[in-house]
Structures are given as structure tokens and as C-alpha cells.
Structure 1
């Protein structure tokens, strides 16, 4: 009995270390992605670009992540999980370094494509390892911690990156991410265990056949659709949040870090609460509630006039809490659908579909949103209504998955 308790304690301790390292990796590549949004007003001014061109900088990352992710999915389950993760982490750091040294808009656009090619697969690697290393009964909490990486990146990384960009220039923000990435790379190398899924290597023909089987499963397609719809809805709004706050609500560029500091702090707390609620109440019930509640801040934020910064921070924080919070129960639901032997390929495909839908949303938003007088954006409320519609569609899809798999 004592031996069993001791072994259990050791296992839990190891799980905590794994979650910590995987969360750190998420922080690095999420920071690389989210830093683009608050730097939006600066990029639009420095490069003299319009909203559509700025949306290309954002969508270049997600489109690259989605396209490369589809090819990476062919082999995701045929490599040691750790080796596959380390390879993509290395490529991501190189891509981010290219962003740091980019001299102009075209070079930065190419660098974002390279960073996205590795960063997108890296995200799938992290989620696959969480599912492989953490038992389902504790997976909701683990997903909550890992998904709160967005919040930590917002609270710590974005304000620091913007502060450094204010002191030096925007290049310095990417140099900071490179340094952080290198530190986390070594931590992952020494702490994460090897996770081998298949003992035999499959030919290209066999890989394609397995790929086709996974894509042909209705349950898997519903899961892809769920997270893709969520990604589409959120990225109709997020890329232009900072330009809208500056051009329409009246905040200054120097005040933008407060949006991410306040929103990220609130989301750190809410993400853990949501993760624990998934384990206790049930992932579907939590998702239905959070997705429904998210409609309110979406409407308020995308229709916000010039207001005091406190009210602006309240709206943006509620939006971040509910927007990112939906993904925690959604990913827990999705992890219950996939078979263990398909998990790596499935997660890569899920990530690819979500990245492509996010990139498409960013591009469409760039076409809908216009530039008005004195830098103000027009039609931001229109993308908000689209975001509300996607929330309702996502609830319906989740209900179908819940009914099929008898989830709570």
C-alpha cells in the first residue's frame, strides 16, 4: 500500500514537470504569434500598410502552419514524440530569429511563413504529449494549465516585448522571444521523456492510406470542425483588437500592454478554474456555458465607442477570458474522441485545420474592415457578429459529439 502511494506521488510529480515544460514551450511559440497583434499599429505606421496588408502578416503564420501541418500529420505518429517536438522547436527558433533581423515588410512576411511552418506543428506536438503523458481523469486540469500559456504570454511576454519595442524598436521584441525559446529548448531536452507510438516505420503509401482513414472518420471530422469554427470566430476579431483600441476607443500605443496584462492575468485564473470544472462537472457542460457567455463580451468589444481605459480593459479582459476559455473544454472533448494510435496525426490535422481557418478569418476580416478618418477602423462590429454566429454553431457541433460519446 505504501509502495503504491509512493509510486503515485512520484508519477504525479513527474506529470507536473512535464506540464511545466510543455507549458513553457507553448508560451514561447504563442508569444511569437500574439506579439504581432499589439505591434499592429506600429507595423501599419512603420511599413505604411493598410489593414488588409497587416492581416497578411498575421495570416501568413497561420496559413503556413496549416499547410505544413497537413504534411507533418503524415508522419506525426511515426517519430518519437520528443524528437519530433525538438526538431520543430529548433525550426521555430530559427524562424523567429529571421523575424528579428527582417529589414522590411517583405522579409518579415517570409520570416512569418517560416516561423508558422514550425510553430503550428509545435503546438500539435505539445497537445499530443499532454494527451500521451497525462491520464484522462487529470487531462482537463492539464489542458487548462497548458492552455493558460496564452495568458502567461500575454501577462509577462507581451507587455515586456512591447516595452522593449518602445525602448529600442520592434526587432528587439523578437530577439527576446529567441532568447526565451533557447532557454526552454534546453529545459525540454533534459526533462521531457521519449514517447514512442509506433515500433515500425510505414511507407509513404501506407502513411497516405492511414491519413485517408483518419480523414474519412465522421467523428474526427466533427472534432476538426469544432475547433476550426472556434478559431475562425476568434480570429475575425483578435488581429485588429489593438488597432481598434488605438484608432476607435482612444487608447495610446503606450497603453496597449495594459490590455494584455489585465486580460492575461484574468485568463490565468479563469483557465485553471475552467480546467478543473471540466474534470468535476464535465467538459461539454463547461463548454456550452463558456461559449454562450462569450457572446456578451464579443458584442460589447466590437461595438465599443471612445470610453475610459478602465471600461475598455474590462471588456477586453472578459473577451480574452471567454474566448480562450472555450478552447479548454473543447480540446478536452476532442481528446476523448481520438484513438491513442491516431493521436499525433489527429492533433496535427486538427491544428492544421484550425490554423487554416484562423488564417482565412484574418484575411476575410482584413477585407471587411476598412480604415476611416484619423486611423479609425470601420465595420469592426460586422466581424463581431460573425464571431457571435460561430459561437452558436460551435455549441451545436459540441452537442453532437457529446451525444455520440456520452460525454458530460
Structure 2
């Protein structure tokens, strides 16, 4: 895994990377936009932090449940058809969010969106694992995860601008319109992904799910993903409310903050992807985790702070977050066998979403706000919890790294045969 020559991408692989990256952009944007809309939503609908935490976690919990329900079927269908089915459902749910006019309807809309949107990431991961060698996946993850940075550079700032101009519903209409165009592109350009269907199995969907969960190596990957998600989601829901009410930013400054942080993410992610294919993925993950822990503690203890300093803090914190996401995703993707990839990715994505929902709900219970517009309290406690969870994550990811190396040594992977047809 160390100091290997990067395996080049074929022309079709580049198209696949683009399609998956832009699909992820819209799904991540739909989820990400809830955080910057937090302050507007809490004031518009007169919500307490705990109620807003539920609104955020509703998507995550429904996405997790959906992933578990579909994991057993994930390896029994053309992955392209699955992707399109759930993406169209995601678009419908996002439209429902734009139509919501009350807290109860908004929560229901988020549940529907999560039922479909939460499965898309796992399907994309299964496609990546089918079509790309392990030596390529760090770079692929770097590009696909650019959806996260792209949502901050373009989506979130534009969404906030639309929300300030036409109300909090406007960003959801923007996501629905953009996603509809992308769905057409996926339908036309992505070829069927069916090679996994050649591996015959007599297992029912439920038995396939149990078979996947029963493997001890897989459970190590699941546990690592869950811990990473808890640490990653805890600060997110109240990020904008903390910036406005504690750091002294205005709602007009928020789009700039997210845009600058996003631009830096777009620069960082491909570089981290390349490094993770050349150097030890685990070492990059561990170093990034320590960096993120330090920045989280410093940031969550800030008071009224000058806008340029807040931007610097966000950039430094984003460096740590992004630099651990990419190598951890690449390492986890190496664990499942080909016949189990769809189910593994489905369960993995479900646990990621459920853990994120738990994190958002717990953060909502920890963080308090005495009155509308008052500074948030106990946000620094969330930062300390992230440190504890991140330390545990490092030890679990160390086990994932050992499992990935052992599997690579046993199979003596260079370029998997399943990618050979892409050269045609």
C-alpha cells in the first residue's frame, strides 16, 4: 500500500467519477444546508435547540433505517437502476421539504428525504468498489468527497442567499431542480453495473443481511464508521447558530464563511486523495484526527471573534475533517468481498446515518439557549466529547488498516480483473 505508482483512470472511469461526485454534491447539500439554515429556522419556527436537533436527526435516522432495510437487496440488482430509483425518491422528498410550512411537516419531509437519500451514498460506494482498484480509491474518494466542499463553495452560500431573500424553503427548491438535471445525466451516461450479479447466491435478502453482519471483520469496519460519524456530526447542527449568537457573525457573513471554507476543502481533498494512495492511509487519518481534535476544542471555546479569524479557524478545522474522511473511506472500502459489497456499504451507510442522528440529537440535549438570539451554552462540551470519540476512532481505524493490508497481501492485488473491461 505504500509508495506505489498510481493506477491511471480510463476515460469511462472519469465519467463515472464525475457523475458520482455531482450526485453526492446534491445529496450532501440537501443535508448540509440544514446546518447553516439553523439560525433562520430556529427563529422562523420558534424552535429550541433540542427541537432543531430532532429535525436534523430525523433525516439521519430514516436514512439509517432505509439502508438497513435495503442492504439485503443491494447485491441483487443493477446498481445503476438502484441509484436512479433512490435518487428520484430523494428528489421527491426534497420537493416536499420546499412545500413544508410547519415544524411537523418539515420533520415528515426530512424523514421521506432520508429514506431515499440515505441509501445513495452506499450505492455510490459499491459502484466505486466494483469499478476501481484499491490503488485508485484514495483519489476517487478525494474527487467524490469534493461534493462536500462543493456544497459549501456553491450550494450553501447560494442556498443561504436564497433563504435570506425568499425564505428558508428556497434552498430545497434549488436542490430539487439541480438534482432533476443530474438524474437525466446518470440515466444517459452511466452504464449498467451488473458484474456482481454473476456471483450466484441462494441466500434470501434477509439471510444475506445476516451473513454480512455476522462477519467479525465487517463489524470492525461498521464500528469505525459509527464512531467517525458521531464525532463528525456533533458540531454540525449548531454551527451557524454558534457563529451568529456566540462569535458575533451576521447572517450576511455566513455565506462567505461557508464559501471560503468550501474552496479550501476543494483544494485539500484531491491532494489528500493522492497522498493516501502514495503514503499510509492510516497515518494520514491519525494525523488529521489529532489536528481536528485540537481545532475543535479551540473553536468551541471562542467568544466574540473577528470575522477573518473565524474564517481561519474554520479552514484549519475543515483541513482536519476532510483529511480523515478520505483515507478512512478508502480503507473501509477494502474490507468487504465482492459478493457482499452492496450489503456491506448499505449497512455501513446506515450505521453512519444512525450514528449521525444520535450525535445531532445528543448535541441538541447538551447545547442550550436561554432565549431566542442568546448565546448558545455548553457548545464547548460537545468539543470535548469529540476529542474522546476521535481517540477511540483512531484505535478502531488502526484495526481496519491491518485488515485491509492482510486482505491485500492474501489476494496479491494489483488491478482487479473486474476493472479490466473498462479498458475496452
TM bucket normalised to smaller? over 0.9
Aligned residues of 1:78 and 1:201 also touching (Cα < 8 A)? no
Alpha-carbon distance in 2 for matches of 1:80, 1:219: 26
Alpha-carbon distance in 1 for matches of 2:169, 2:235: 25
Which residue matches 2:395?
396
For residues 161-218 of structure 1, the C-alpha deviation after alignment (integer angstroms, 9 at most, x for no partner) is 1111111111111110011000110111111110112248877x62222211211111
Which residue matches 1:4?
none
**Offset of residue 62 of structure 1:** 0.3
Which residue matches 1:250?
248
Which residue matches 1:65?
63
Alignment of 1:299-318 (within 5 A): 299-318=297-316
**Offset of residue 357 of structure 1:** 0.5
Which residue matches 2:380?
381
Quick one: which of 30, 46, 61 aligns to 1:32? Answer: 30
Alpha-carbon distance in 1 for matches of 2:304, 2:314: 14
Which residue matches 2:12?
14
Instruction: Give unmatched runs, 5+ long, in structure 2.
Output: 1-6, 409-424
**Offset of residue 298 of structure 1:** 0.8
For residues 294-351 of structure 1, the C-alpha deviation after alignment (integer angstroms, 9 at most, x for no partner) is 1111111111111100111111222222113311100111111111111111000000
Alpha-carbon distance in 2 for matches of 1:348, 1:361: 20
Alpha-carbon distance in 1 for matches of 2:254, 2:84: 33
Q: Which moved more, 1:81-90 or 1:253-262?
A: 253-262
Alpha-carbon distance in 2 for matches of 1:110, 1:200: 39
Partner of 2:169, secondary structure, is helix
Which residue matches 2:105?
107
- TM score, norm. by length of structure 2: 0.91
Quick one: which of 187, 212, 216 aligns to 2:214? Answer: 216
Quick one: which of 155, 164, 176 aligns to 2:162? Answer: 164
For residues 74-128 of structure 1, the C-alpha deviation after alignment (integer angstroms, 9 at most, x for no partner) is 1001010000000000000000000011111111110000000101001111111
Quick one: which of 91, 95, 98 aligns to 1:97? Answer: 95
For residues 360-402 of structure 1, the C-alpha deviation after alignment (integer angstroms, 9 at most, x for no partner) is 0100110011103542100000010011111111110111222
**Offset of residue 254 of structure 1:** 1.3
Which residue matches 2:42?
44
Which residue matches 2:119?
121
Which residue matches 1:369?
367
Partner of 2:193, secondary structure, is coil
Alpha-carbon distance in 2 for matches of 1:29, 1:276: 24
Alpha-carbon distance in 2 for matches of 1:383, 1:137: 36
Alpha-carbon distance in 2 for matches of 1:137, 1:202: 28
Alpha-carbon distance in 1 for matches of 2:342, 2:358: 24
**Offset of residue 30 of structure 1:** 0.6
Partner of 1:371, secondary structure, is coil
Aligned residues of 2:72 and 2:343 also touching (Cα < 8 A)? yes
Alpha-carbon distance in 2 for matches of 1:103, 1:403: 50
Which residue matches 1:80?
78
Aligned residues of 1:259 and 1:317 also touching (Cα < 8 A)? no
Q: Which moved more, 1:72-81 or 1:291-300?
A: 291-300
Alpha-carbon distance in 1 for matches of 2:63, 2:129: 21
Partner of 1:112, secondary structure, is helix
Which residue matches 1:274?
272
Q: Which moved more, 1:163-172 or 1:191-200?
A: 191-200
Which residue matches 2:262?
264
Partner of 1:337, secondary structure, is coil
Partner of 1:326, secondary structure, is helix
Aligned residues of 1:230 and 1:394 also touching (Cα < 8 A)? yes
Aligned residues of 1:286 and 1:329 also touching (Cα < 8 A)? yes
Give the RMSD, CA atoms, in angstroms.
Answer: 1.6
Within the alignment, does 1:406 sit opposite 2:405 as a pair? yes
Alpha-carbon distance in 2 for matches of 1:45, 1:246: 12
Alpha-carbon distance in 1 for matches of 2:232, 2:384: 11
Partner of 1:378, secondary structure, is coil
